[in-house]
Amino acid sequence: MKTLSLSPRDPDFVQNPYPAYAKVRADGPVLYWQDYGMLAAFDAATVQALLRDRSLGREPPVPHNYPAHLAAWAVTERNSMLELEPPRHTRLRGLVLRAFTSRRIAALRPDIEAVTAELIAKLPDEPFDLIPAFCTQLPVRIIARLLGVPENIWPDLLRWSNAMVAMYQTGRDRSIEVAANTAAVEFSAFLRAYIEQRRTTPADDLITHLIAAEEDGEKLDTDELIGTCILLLNAGHEATVHALGNSVKCLLEHQTPGAALAPENVAATVEELLRFDPPLHVFTRFAGQDMQIGEITLKAGEEIALVLGAAGRDPTAFADPDRFDPARPAKAHAAFGGGLHFCVGAPLARLEMQIALPALFAAMPEMQLAEAPRYADSYHFHKLDRLMVVR
């Protein structure tokens, strides 16, 4: 079996992982990634096939035995549909989709437009960091409106989300774990009180609809409701923040013509942005049984990394994949995963990007980079440390 020795914290890799991906695809495309301690697939065909293979799942063969300092975190994980498989995943996802409908997402358009306009109006004339000023605030405030929690608590939501999501990054240590567990305690307590309030005083918000959602006589219990709300915030907010930042960087560096963000073209441009520089680069699965991947045997219980960021640059799937082309013919990519765990918030993320990017560039048509952007040491998330721009 071929092996790969490549630290995901190597500075050159952090700033531009795509040359390494190309080399690995030529050598592999499936290798044992020593730094991760598991097999990893880097080509589009294998990644797409494994995302849809029902013999692979998110649940480990032996449940995690979390230490005491992660007790609250463990409860949220055990009730997150991202970490579950059928039949429980089927029930949870079905109930969520009854509340998280395409109609409800489409109805958020005026909210997204309003928050976008408010944030743009506050942007300064001198050079500023677009990530906290715009990219971070938009999705977290929309999630607050969607859930129905007070929008003015968005700084708390952001703090909790950042602390909990850090658990999935390389370089995790005890301090990160303690911070994540504290965030889980605080966020869960807030949601528990808010859910009880909504049980007695319903409103037209997602939490109320999740409470009411029912399938075959089953409803979400309180821990499942909390886990679902936390997942919607963490997964939905985190990906969109980084997708917006990466997209603005890409559009500015390529001096993309304004026509790419015209109403008739913006959807295709957003898909190309997601393919070209996605916010999530790795998603892992466990094998439910022995399976062959080419000449390699993935044994039951073993974990494999699906490198989404590499799949989007595979020349066998996308012609001239290292070229950013907003007019590229539509073709499925893996930026939102696939199969049973395809991102439930993908339609909302797409809508936010399709509204926010044209509005931002229309308001600042001469926007330029004020310094060279730098990516954060946060793999397997691919996000910018900051994005300094000037009008």
> Over the stretch 142-153, which tens digit does the pLDDT of each residue have?
999 999 999 999
Average of pLDDT values for 219-243? 88
Query: What pLDDT, on a 0 to 100 scale, did the predictor assign at position 215?
Result: 65
pLDDT at 40 over 90: yes
Q: Quote the pTM value.
A: 0.94
Query: What pLDDT, on a 0 to 100 scale, did the predictor assign at position 238?
Result: 84
- β-strand 384-386 against 388-390: which pairing, if any? unpaired
Query: What pLDDT, on a 0 to 100 scale, did the predictor assign at position 61?
Result: 83
Query: What pLDDT, on a 0 to 100 scale, did the predictor assign at position 95?
Result: 81
The chain-wide mean pLDDT, for the chain, equals 93
Average of pLDDT values for 112-136? 97
Query: What pLDDT, on a 0 to 100 scale, did the predictor assign at position 170?
Result: 84
Query: What pLDDT, on a 0 to 100 scale, did the predictor assign at position 6?
Result: 95
pLDDT at 117 over 70: yes
Domains, the chain, with CATH or none: 3-390 (1.10.630.10)
- List the structure tokens of 293: 């991947």
Query: What pLDDT, on a 0 to 100 scale, did the predictor assign at position 345?
Result: 87
Farthest CA pair distance, the chain: 60
Residues 6+ apart with CB under 8 A from 175: none
- List the structure tokens of 29: 């495309």
pLDDT at 300 over 90: yes
Q: How far is Cα 225 from Cα 214, in angstroms, rounded to an integer?
A: 12
Q: Using an 8 Å Cβ cutoff, are 7 and 37 in contact?
A: no
Cα–Cα distance list, 198 to 53, 207, 221, 252 (Å): 38, 7, 14, 44
Helix (H) or strand (E) holding 97: helix 88-99
Q: How far is Cα 116 from Cα 110, in angstroms, rounded to an integer?
A: 10
Lowest mean pLDDT across 74-88, 122-136, 321-335, 357-371: 74-88
Q: For 163-187, what is each residue's pLDDT tens digit?
A: 999 998 888 899 999 999 999 999 9
Q: How far is Cα 130 from Cα 115, in angstroms, rounded to an integer?
A: 15
- List the structure tokens of 60: 């480990």
Average of pLDDT values for 112-125? 97
For residues 209 and 133, the model is more confident at 133
Query: What pLDDT, on a 0 to 100 scale, did the predictor assign at position 91?
Result: 86
Q: Using an 8 Å Cβ cutoff, are 7 and 25 in contact?
A: no
Residues in the chain: 391
Query: What pLDDT, on a 0 to 100 scale, did the predictor assign at position 107?
Result: 93
Average of pLDDT values for 241-267? 97
Query: What pLDDT, on a 0 to 100 scale, did the predictor assign at position 216?
Result: 66
- β-strand 56-57 against 384-386: which pairing, if any? unpaired
Q: Using an 8 Å Cβ cutoff, are 322 and 18 in contact?
A: yes
Closest to 145 measured CA to CA, from 186, 112, 117: 112
Q: For 364-391, what is each residue's pLDDT tens digit?
A: 999 999 999 999 999 999 999 999 999 8
pLDDT at 309 over 80: yes
pLDDT at 271 over 70: yes
Q: Using an 8 Å Cβ cutoff, are 55 and 291 in contact?
A: yes
Query: What pLDDT, on a 0 to 100 scale, did the predictor assign at position 28?
Result: 87
Q: Using an 8 Å Cβ cutoff, are 76 and 230 in contact?
A: yes
Query: What pLDDT, on a 0 to 100 scale, did the predictor assign at position 217?
Result: 76
3-state helix, strand and coil shares in percent for the chain, rounded to the nearest 5 = 55, 10, 35
pLDDT at 67 over 80: yes
Q: How far is Cα 89 from Cα 341, in angstroms, rounded to an integer?
A: 9
Query: What pLDDT, on a 0 to 100 scale, did the predictor assign at position 65?
Result: 87
